[in-house]
Amino acid sequence: MYKNQIKAKIENLRKEINYHDHSYHVLDSPEISDYKYDTLVKELMDLEEKHPELITPDSPTQRVGGKPETKFPQVAHTVPLLSLDNSYNENDLLDFDKRIKKEVGETVEYVVEYKIDGLSVALKYENGSFVRGTTRGDGTVGEDITSNLRTIKSIPLRLQEETSIEVRGEAYIPKKKFAELNRRQEENEDTVFANPRNAAAGSLRQLDPKIAASRPLDISIFSILAISGAAIDRHSYALEYLKKLGFKTSNYEVCKDIGEVIELCNKWQEKRYDLPFEIDGLVIKVNDLSKREILGTRAKSPRWAIAFKFPAEEKETLVKGVIVQIGRTGAVTPTAILEPVTVAGSVVSRATLHNQDFIDMKDIRIGDTVVIHKAGDVIPEVVRVIKEKRNGEEQKYVLPSECPECKEKTVRLDGEVALRCINIACPAQLRRGIIHFVSRNAMNIDGLGEALVTMLLDKGFIKDPGDIYYLKDRREELVDLERMGEKSVENLLDAIERSKKNDLGRLVNALGIKLVGSKAATLVADTFGSMDKLIEASEEEITAIDEIGPKMAKSMVAFFNDEKNLKVIEKIKESGVNMESKKKSKTNVNLKLEGMTFVLTGTLPNYSRNEAKEIIESLGGKVTGSVSKKTTYVLAGENPGSKIDKANELGVNVITEEEFQDLTR
């Protein structure tokens, strides 16, 4: 290829990748499979590696890079990042409206937006390229966290227009992803985050951008701080222009008067728990920018805007007792049993107490009246003890000195907060490890739930994860188990057989290596290509992979150096479980479903929805949730829904599972 052709190819790849980043991370409407996306990125990376002089800062490959910072440089804001005055009730809003009308007249239109609870940041673009991102700081001076902000895929590195603009937004972590992040933290025995705001702020203030890249950060842009060459006279128009440039913005509503504003505040006070992110209120802004000029600002806040703060959803309840669970790595985790109470839309009867330090710090006792809330509206947590309600009968709680499962002594290792059972033969650790092995994000063996795993262990049918793949030899004994029967056993054995075809990344995740989650498992599996090569890898080779740190690499090497673990892996291998990364060989696969769009409806006898989706995407197809004229096939299982009617109405082909199997062979 000539230099001009290479440059054109690189620019086209960047445009295509940016388009798909925007579709996925901003519009939440992916148009290609993960494999196809990864292929585009790999092609761009290969070209840039061969022609480093053509790499630009706004290339999608440059989101994560560079060495960790030693500290963040201070940056003076060109436009102050003001804070907001707060209001808490209807009277506060009416007073705000009176002050506005006194200055600008009786007709005032307001824009109402979500007050997302995260970290406020400013993003600067020159000629359409992202050049700098800073924290709010004190409003006048912030910290340059550009490297970390570049890792957020909903932040465009290049805008749809070559404009110079500075915008302000809120970086946050969605509620479900926050819950997943904390589950991972607990699994890896790291400190859990108190709430999504702390998690987002902590992630963006990491000196190593690879850590920020591993966190599920998102952003919502809510205002233009400065812009060249665009005349905008309404805040609502500004929000629409931001969308046009490629920014992610949250929903907003224009209200013709303060009465409509109050109605919205009352509505969202009840409905806030339905949102996928945490809000602590709403923001009310004068829409007309010329009226904002008249109103001006105070020292630290604008006169033309106010925040309506929701009351915190906290409830009192009683600590009835404490139970402990032994995790798959031996960590002893205490859980408070509570008098059931409704918080943030659901009934809460338990709350994690994390460890002994947490219990002692908050002085939580059995019999205490406590205040609880849901961190991120998701995870029940004890906020504080109401000590004035104590009657003297409350009992202090100390974690057990011996494991409740195996009766061996529990210990607290140097440098750890967790109490731990270090007996490697502890049945609780084995049980939790196997439950993880068969879980949806690991080997995904449908029908092998916690109760059945416990029964199989108790009966001696399995002693390690490898034994699962030899249960077919005990078919008759399985049929005789309580609540099993011929059909249940057949479904279980079929699910076990299907799991043998999983990609290597799922198996590595299923092994339950300390500190290694599903993302890291996939990374190492795709990098080394096979289990044999991964077992032989050194710490240096593993840490050479982006996003894999030295602690994780050390943990993997230690795991694969353990003879007991290698015997289990060999047993799994001999049963016929796939030991290679499919991603390594996908370049030779005929993507026979490329360009086709599928909709799934009903229950498929031989596949879960996720399995059918993975097959379609591995062959280049796409799965969407609704039927349209662009749909190629509707795959219908048992008890299909209204999607069949829609398909018939539009003349879309409806296929059975058998026809699907013929199509994908």
What φ, ψ does residue 373 adopt, rounded to 5°? -145, 180
Decide: 333 and 403 in contact? Cβ < 8 Å.
no
What φ, ψ does residue 560 adopt, rounded to 5°? -80, -10
Q: What is the pLDDT of residue 189?
A: 63
| Contacts of residue 377, Cβ cutoff 8 Å, sequence gap at least 6 | 175, 272, 273, 278, 313, 344, 345
Q: What is the pLDDT of residue 582?
A: 76
What φ, ψ does residue 32 adopt, rounded to 5°? -135, 165
3-state class of 291 per DSSP?
helix
Q: Among 13-17, 284-288, 552-556, 598-602, name the most confident range.
A: 284-288
390-447 pLDDT per residue, tens:
999 999 999 999 999 888 889 887 777 888 887 766 888 888 889 999 988 899 998 8
State yes or no: pLDDT of 586 exceeds 50. no
State yes or no: pLDDT of 469 exceeds 80. yes
Decide: 305 and 285 in contact? Cβ < 8 Å.
yes
Decide: 204 and 149 in contact? Cβ < 8 Å.
yes
Rounded Cα distance, 19 and 21, in Å: 6
Q: How many beta carbons lie within 10 A of that of residue 403, not counting itself?
A: 23
Mean pLDDT of 451-476: 92
State yes or no: pLDDT of 656 exceeds 80. yes
141-165 in b/e form (b: 16+ CB < 10 A) is ebbbbbbbbbbbbbbbbbbeeebbb
Q: What is the pLDDT of residue 45?
A: 81
Amino acid occupying residue 545:
I
Mean pLDDT of 496-524: 90
Q: What is the pLDDT of residue 283?
A: 97
Choosing from 36, 115, 613, 643, the catalytic residue is: 115
Rounded Cα distance, 527 and 520, in Å: 11
Decide: 172 and 220 in contact? Cβ < 8 Å.
yes
Q: Which whole-number Å values give the CA distances from 601 to 247, 610, 630, 647, 661, in the listed order?
A: 33, 12, 17, 11, 16
Any bridge partners for residue 309, and if so which? 281
Of 25-34, 50-59, 263-272, 557-566, which range is least confident?
25-34
Q: What is the pLDDT of residue 347?
A: 81
87-130 pLDDT per residue, tens:
989 999 999 999 999 999 989 999 999 999 889 999 999 999 99
Mean pLDDT of 490-512: 93
| Contacts of residue 117, Cβ cutoff 8 Å, sequence gap at least 6 | 170, 172, 195, 196, 197, 278, 279, 280
Quick one: tokens of 65?
A: 């890079």
Which pLDDT band, with edges at 50, 70 and 90, does 246 fall under? very high
Its sign, for the CA torsion 231, 236, 240, 245, is positive
Tokens 């054995």 correspond to 493
Rounded Cα distance, 498 and 469, in Å: 11
Rounded Cα distance, 426 and 430, in Å: 6
10-33 pLDDT per residue, tens:
888 888 888 887 776 676 566 776
Rounded Cα distance, 157 and 612, in Å: 34
- 268: closest CA among 216, 217, 213, 309? 309
Q: What is the mean pLDDT of the chain?
A: 87
State yes or no: pLDDT of 198 exceeds 50. yes
Decide: 81 and 142 in contact? Cβ < 8 Å.
yes
Q: Which domains are delineated in the chain? A: 3-62 (1.10.287.610), 86-309 (3.30.470.30), 315-411 (2.40.50.140), 427-499 (1.10.150.20), 504-585 (1.10.150.20), 589-664 (3.40.50.10190)
| Residue 346 burial by Cβ neighbours in a 10 Å radius (0-12, 13-18, 19+) | exposed
Q: Among 2-16, 360-374, 635-649, name the most confident range.
A: 360-374
State yes or no: pLDDT of 591 exceeds 70. no
Q: How many beta carbons lie within 10 A of that of residue 615, not counting itself?
A: 19
Any bridge partners for residue 143, and if so which? 74
Decide: 221 and 242 in contact? Cβ < 8 Å.
yes
Which pLDDT band, with edges at 50, 70 and 90, does 587 fall under? very low
Tokens 């296929």 correspond to 655
3-state class of 113 per DSSP?
strand
φ/ψ region of 20 (left if φ > 0, alpha if ψ in -120 to 50, else beta) reads: alpha
Has 115 been annotated as catalytic? yes
Of 48-57, 241-250, 465-474, 517-526, which range is least confident?
48-57
Decide: 302 and 201 in contact? Cβ < 8 Å.
no
Q: Which whole-number Å values give the CA distances from 623 to 531, 608, 633, in the listed order?
A: 30, 14, 10
High-pLDDT (> 90) share of the chain, %? 45
Which pLDDT band, with edges at 50, 70 and 90, does 39 fall under? confident
Of 41-45, 134-138, 473-477, which range is least confident?
41-45
Q: What is the pLDDT of residue 241?
A: 96
Q: What is the pLDDT of residue 608?
A: 72
Mean pLDDT of 326-334: 85
State yes or no: pLDDT of 236 exceeds 90. yes
375-405 pLDDT per residue, tens:
655 678 898 999 999 999 999 999 999 999 8
State yes or no: pLDDT of 572 exceeds 80. yes
| 329 vs 368, residue with greater confidence | 368
Q: Among 54-63, 526-535, 597-606, name the most confident range.
A: 526-535
State yes or no: pLDDT of 261 exceeds 90. yes
Rounded Cα distance, 661 and 226, in Å: 56
Residue count of the chain, please give it: 665
Q: How many beta carbons lie within 10 A of that of residue 277, not counting itself?
A: 23
- 313: closest CA among 280, 340, 284? 280
